Amino acid sequence: MTRGKEKKRLEEIAFIDDLTGLFNRRYFYERLLEEKRKVDSRSSEPTDGFALMMIDLDNLKPINDLYGHLAGDRVLAQVGKLLKESVRSSDILCRYAGDEFVVILPETREEEVIRVAERMKENFASTSWKDEKGDPLQPVTCSLGYAFYQEKGRDLDGLIHWADQALYAVKRRGGNGYSGEKALLKESLGSPLFSTPKLVGRTKELRRFKSLLEAFSAAGDRKEGGRLILIHGEAGIGKTRLVREIRQVLESRGGTVLLGGCHEETQTIPYYPFREAFKHLFKERKDQTFQILENLQDHFRREIARILPGLIEIEPSELERTPDPYRLFEAVRLLLQSLSKVGAEGLPESGHTPLLFIIEDIHWSDEASLNLLHFLTRDLGEERIIFCGTYRTEEAEREQGPSLSRFVGSLRREKLLEEIPLEPLSARGVSAMLRLLCPGVKVPQDYQDMIYQKTEGNPFYVEEYLRFLHEETAGGGLQNLEEGISEMREVPQSIQALIQRRIDSLAPEMKEALACAALLGKEFEFEILQKVLNRSEVEILEVVEVGMRSHIVRESFEGGGDRYRFVHAQLLLQQLTSTAPSSLSGRYLRLGGGRSRFLRRELMRSI
């Protein structure tokens, strides 16, 4: 075979999904950009543009759970054939991920998209679904959402988002149907969205991540900078949103992304985030990963079996043997090295895009995982592998805090760590969020300002306040937005729970001291708090430091002197003052407006 033919064959393989025979995600992104360029190049002429259709199976999970993944794989292969029969010859059909599919429909109008959607629905309904033994399975249906690219310069991420939102509007109605972007926007005119469609206000952070990625990927700079990027900030600040965007950046470049997450209830399970990431990888790229494992030496494969039970056959007696942490760490290192040498589609990687291993909520990680991660960041040499972790600033002070603090401190000393802190959004960022969350509605500036003041720029709080307003007005929609915001007194329970968790992490004496500080107002002075509590300067300094580490207070640079202010003052003060000593809280509650000034005067008089 000639070199040209071999290259063409490899390119074809790189763009085909093994299970369904459809084009894969990598090919989808390339063709999406190509269709965009076509529309943009003839923007001065009348054009129908192109449509993007997102398809999601409604009930594959029950089939996997009841009949096993072999039956599920058979269904996916059958779905691939059905979709091929439903689309036009000019359409570009791809498997997007798992049980999700996408179709690019060039030069098309809405009535043509609807005809394709109807054909898909009919083909699904008329199909007899069976497992590998020929036994009948429950019927399979799908939900479809679509959006159009008709104007030059439209954001492709926004296009994908709106097609996806239209799909999930169908899901919320029970599935087995289709909807378009226009219908979704029309429905949304009366009610807010509850999840921001795209990343807002994080241009600087995303640019920093991309620059770190490019520096690490450059052949001559692999020894420079950290291999682990930690993204941290308070709960709800947008760490997951940023990670989602980062993942899309890597995958659009043909890179491999492993995703593992930690949870509060899994802190006692050794190597949980690694187990989760490898489990998903084995499911998506089964043949390739098993081949890599087969190439490992037996003693390394036996150690890997400890964190991947059921995926590797091994004698029970071997698992009962005392584990060897070094061999396990080496086995994981070799596995990642092998994965980094191939692209996302299982072919030898010729570019410089690294393998990215993401671990979300690392503050809930078990100590064994932190030790393994530390080993990998130090001992992977010049391999194109980079790690990304997220953690909540306030959770670092809870039970897992000491382990996480030691881990982070050690990596800083060894210069293996890069950090991307996430701060609250600016007022402009909150306004941008509100425009996305309230499509088709002009939110008055004074109400944008009010939402910003109540949430202090936390994206989750913005979304939860809008959800709360919608529920409080019995689904009255955005037409009642002004009245709802102006009369808003309560704090949504979801936000209360996050704030209370932050307070509950404190020792009783610290909670009481900060509650006294809260009675002084949104800001307090070090000296006045010392006199109120009648404690030494060292004790008050400890109170302030604990408050800052727990993300409850921060330094205030207004007015000079040792002044501090509460983070999310309106939210924290309400819950902190309920724990204040009765002698102070009674006096506090008797004071009306301007309570801070009067209370300070009363306190100073009594000192």
> Hey, what's the torsion of the CAs at 115, 116, 119, 123, to 10 degrees?
-170
How far apart CA 169 and CA 160 sit, in angstroms, is 14
pLDDT band at 348 (very low <50, low <70, confident <90, very high): very low
**What DSSP assignment string belongs to 464-493?**
HHHHHHHHHTTT--GGGHHHHHHT--S--H
pLDDT band at 587 (very low <50, low <70, confident <90, very high): very low
Lowest pLDDT segment from 350-359, 541-550, 573-582: 573-582
Sign of CA dihedral 519, 525, 531, 536: positive
Q: Are 370 and 410 in contact (CB under 8 A)?
A: no
Reported as a single tens digit per residue, the pLDDT across 131-156 is 777 778 888 899 999 999 876 666 78
Is pLDDT at 346 greater than 50 in this prediction?
Answer: no
Judging by DSSP bridges, how do beta strands 385-392 and 417-421 pair with one another? Answer: unpaired
How far apart CA 450 and CA 427 sit, in angstroms, is 10
pLDDT band at 513 (very low <50, low <70, confident <90, very high): confident
Judging by DSSP bridges, how do beta strands 523-525 and 563-566 pair with one another? Answer: antiparallel
Of 185, 160, 17, 18, the residue nearest 102 (C-alpha): 160
Look at residue 153 in the predicted model and tell me its pLDDT.
60
Q: Are 314 and 300 in contact (CB under 8 A)?
A: no
How far apart CA 510 and CA 515 sit, in angstroms, is 8
How far apart CA 530 and CA 538 sit, in angstroms, is 10
Lowest pLDDT segment from 232-236, 297-301, 330-334, 483-487: 483-487
Look at residue 124 in the predicted model and tell me its pLDDT.
92
Q: Are 385 and 227 in contact (CB under 8 A)?
A: yes
| Cβ within 8 Å of residue 570, ≥6 positions away | 453, 454
**3-state DSSP assignment of residue 126:** coil
Other Cβ atoms less than 10 A from the Cβ of 224: the count is 10
| The most confident of 5-19, 175-189, 483-497, 567-581, by mean pLDDT | 175-189
Reported as a single tens digit per residue, the pLDDT across 552-579 is 888 887 655 688 888 887 677 666 666 6
The DSSP symbol for 221 reads G
How far apart CA 111 and CA 182 sit, in angstroms, is 13
Q: Is 575 exposed, middle or buried (0-12, 13-18, 19+ CB in 10 A)?
A: middle
Q: In degrees, to the nearest 5, what angle opens at C-alpha 422 toward C-alphas 420 and 424?
A: 165
How far apart CA 451 and CA 485 sit, in angstroms, is 8
| Cβ within 8 Å of residue 270, ≥6 positions away | 307, 366, 368, 369
The Cα-based distances of 9 to 4, 14, 181, 285, 416 in angstroms read: 9, 9, 38, 20, 40
Look at residue 590 in the predicted model and tell me its pLDDT.
40
pLDDT band at 531 (very low <50, low <70, confident <90, very high): confident
Judging by DSSP bridges, how do beta strands 228-233 and 417-421 pair with one another? Answer: parallel
